[in-house]
Amino acid sequence: VTEALDNNHQSVEDFKNGKGRAKGILVGQIMKASKGQANPQIVNKLLQQELDKR
């Protein structure tokens, strides 16, 4: 999750500015990196926690 955030600064900024699609892009990047093996619900939860920290 942190790797996806580090590699997609623009999507993180877009999300902070209220663009909801940016979170979907980040989830997609994480799913791609895990070759579809990650649980999307857990990915969303972890992603939200990391975004709240930034």
Place of tokens 């209220």: 18
- The DSSP annotation for 13-38 comes to HHHHTT-THHHHHHHHHHHHHTTT-S
Q: Taking the CB of residue 37, how many other CB atoms lie within 10 A of it?
A: 7
pLDDT at 20 over 90: no
Q: What is the average per-residue pLDDT within 37-45?
A: 95
Q: What is the average per-residue pLDDT within 41-52?
A: 94
For the chain, state the CA radius of gyration.
10
Residue 12 confidence class, pLDDT cut points 50, 70, 90: very high
- Ordered by where they begin, the domains of the chain are 2-53 (1.10.10.410)
pTM exceeding 0.75: yes
